[in-house]
Structure formats: structure tokens, C-alpha cells
Amino acid sequence: MTSGLVKFALSIVFIFLVIFPAVFVSSQEAGGEGEERKSPADFDYEIYELIDRLNQLKPQHSTLYDLLNVKPSASSEEISRQFRRLGFAYHPDKTQGDLEAKKMFNLYSGASQVLKVPESRKRYEWILNEAPPWHRSQVYLIRKLKTGGEFRKSGRKEVSVAGFLAFVFCFMIMVQLIMQWVRFLLNRYWIWSGQRALKSIPAQELRRMEKKAQRSDLTFLANVDANYENLQAARSVPLSIPKPTDLFIFQIPLSLVRSLIPKKKEKST
């Protein structure tokens, strides 16, 4: 019974830690073809990036409304009109490759795109006035994890080889730790359920079972009779609580050290 539970639990761990993330990543990559579908975290990331560009290029303006010289209650038509009036001077066709002008035009264009759409304007106002302090770091973390394996337009990877190896290393430690605790908890539950089931058996019948278990193979009896399975569970020695030293990051160096230390020769009598 316990081996079946362990296999089932390990299958669940494998599905959630390996298969599900792989399917999620592949679906995200498939969704990237054609029209790009942005998640809420992607949209919040773009708003934060737009706010940073505003603070860098136009620090005298505290909000996108100030940048476009409109009120928070301005209509989409008014915002578009202000963008055409203010952003026209920085249009790439007029500036002929001026990088600073291009940055300014993208700033005005981004502000217009955010404020013209009611949903994005509502999200911007939430970030501006109500977002908790930890929200920005959370958005950037999600963005980093999501784009970690993708290529930028320049061809440079978001995450270095060392970063990828560190992620794989931490992932392996997490999987081993989860497996150890799943095995420990299942073992404790198996023993507890066996002890509980034996309490409902009369004392005379329990003594008869124990005598039969001493004469026969208890493992064989447990496979054919649920009462003997409970007896086997109740007699089992519980596993010890998982320790950090049980992880492979400690076991491998310890094994190497033991192999390098010469064994003491036994003294001849």
C-alpha cells in the first residue's frame, strides 16, 4: 500500500513540477505567434517601464496626464488630439533618426495608448495610487521568469548560462526536498492508519494474528489480508524527519571526502 501511495504522490509532484510548467511554457510560446497576447503582469510591466521613462525624460511631469496636459477625466478624443499636438514635433519623419527625439515620441505615444483605453487607464491609476510597495518587484520577477528562455530582438539571451544552471540546480534541490517530505508524511500516515485500524480488532484476534505473523511471512500475509497489512504498518519503524544533510548537495561532497580519506588498517593480532 505504501509503495502505491508513494508512486502516486511522486506522479503528482512530477506533473506539477515538470509537465505542467512545460505545457505552460509551450502554450505561451505558441501564443506568441501572430497576435501577441499579453498577460496582466506584462501589461503592468509596460506601465512601470513607461513611468520610468517619464521620470527620466520629463522629470518635471509627475503623471502621464501632466505629460499630455490633460485632466484625469479627459476623453479619448482629447488625449489623441493632445498626442498629435505634442508628439508631432518628435515624429521620426521630422527628426530623421534623432535617438532622443525617438525616445520622446515613444513616450508620448505610450502615454496616449495607455490613457486612451478605459481599461488600461484604470490600471494605470491603480498602479499610481493604490498599488502596494511590493507589486512592482513582483511584476518584474514574473517578467524575468517568463522571458528567461526567450531571445531579445538583438539576439542576446535574457538569462546567462550560469543563471540557467543555477535555476536547474535550485529546481533539483526543491524536487528532492519535496520528495523526501512526501515520503516521510506518507510513511507516518501509513503507520498511524495501521495502528488506528488495529484498535478496532479484539485483543484475542490480535494475539492470534501476531502468532501467525511470527510463523509466516508477514509481507505475504499483508498482500492477501488487509488486517495483516495494518499489522505490518503498525510494526514498521517510522522514517526520521528529513534533514538538510540528506540532500544531494551535501551527500555528494561527503561521499567524495569519505572516498579520499584512507581507511585504517586493522591491527594484526
Length in residues, the chain: 269
Co-location of 168 and 144 in the same domain: no
Nearest CA among 231, 236, 233 for reference residue 210: 231
What mean pLDDT value characterizes the chain?
78
Q: Is 30 within a domain?
A: no
What does pTM read for this prediction? 0.44
Last residue of a domain, which of 138, 155, 172?
155
Mean pLDDT, rounded, for 15-37: 46
Report the pLDDT value the prediction gives residue 79, as an integer from 0 to 100. 93
Q: How confident is the model at residue 242 (pLDDT cuts 50, 70, 90)?
A: confident
Q: How confident is the model at residue 209 (pLDDT cuts 50, 70, 90)?
A: confident
Packed helices 161-199 and 248-260: angle between N→C axes, nearest 10 degrees: 100
Report the pLDDT value the prediction gives residue 204, as an integer from 0 to 100. 87
Range in 15-24, 76-85, 201-210 the model is least confident about:
15-24
Report the pLDDT value the prediction gives residue 152, as an integer from 0 to 100. 44
Q: Is 2 within a domain?
A: no
The most confident of the ranges 103-112, 162-171, 234-243 is 103-112
Q: Pull the grid cell for residue 267.
A: 591491527
Co-location of 148 and 225 in the same domain: no
Residues 6+ apart with CB under 8 A from 45: 139, 140, 143
Range in 2-6, 87-91, 137-141, 179-183 the model is least confident about:
2-6
Co-location of 142 and 172 in the same domain: no
Co-location of 46 and 115 in the same domain: yes
163 compared with 9, residue with greater pLDDT: 163
Report the pLDDT value the prediction gives residue 32, as an integer from 0 to 100. 44
d(CA 181, CA 239): 10
Co-location of 45 and 138 in the same domain: yes
d(CA 215, CA 228): 13
Instruction: Find where cell 509503495 sits.
Output: 3
Q: Is 232 within a domain?
A: yes
For residue 247, the enclosing domain spans 163-255
Last residue of a domain, which of 155, 175, 202?
155
Co-location of 76 and 120 in the same domain: yes
d(CA 136, CA 54): 16
- Output Rg (C-alpha) for the chain, integer angstroms: 32
Q: How confident is the model at residue 37 (pLDDT cuts 50, 70, 90)?
A: low
Report the pLDDT value the prediction gives residue 154, as an integer from 0 to 100. 43
DSSP classification of residue 32: T
Q: How many other CB atoms are found less than 10 A from the CB of residue 226?
A: 10
Q: Is 10 within a domain?
A: no
d(CA 128, CA 115): 13
Given a cut of 70, is residue 100 above it in pLDDT? yes
Report the pLDDT value the prediction gives residue 11, as an integer from 0 to 100. 52
Q: How confident is the model at residue 258 (pLDDT cuts 50, 70, 90)?
A: confident
Last residue of a domain, which of 139, 155, 171?
155
Could you read off the pLDDT of 124-162 as tens digits, one per residue?
999 999 988 888 888 888 887 776 544 444 444 445 667
Report the pLDDT value the prediction gives residue 33, as an integer from 0 to 100. 43
Cα-Cα end-to-end distance for the chain: 51
Q: Decide if 101 contacts 95 (C-beta within 8 A).
A: yes
169 compared with 13, residue with greater pLDDT: 169
Co-location of 171 and 129 in the same domain: no
Range in 8-17, 109-118, 120-129, 223-232 the model is least confident about:
8-17
Range in 31-35, 76-80, 100-104, 221-225 the model is least confident about:
31-35
CATH code, domain with 58: 1.10.287.110
117 compared with 247, residue with greater pLDDT: 117
Report the pLDDT value the prediction gives residue 174, as an integer from 0 to 100. 86
Co-location of 192 and 84 in the same domain: no
Report the pLDDT value the prediction gives residue 35, as an integer from 0 to 100. 42
When divided into structural domains, the chain yields a total of 2
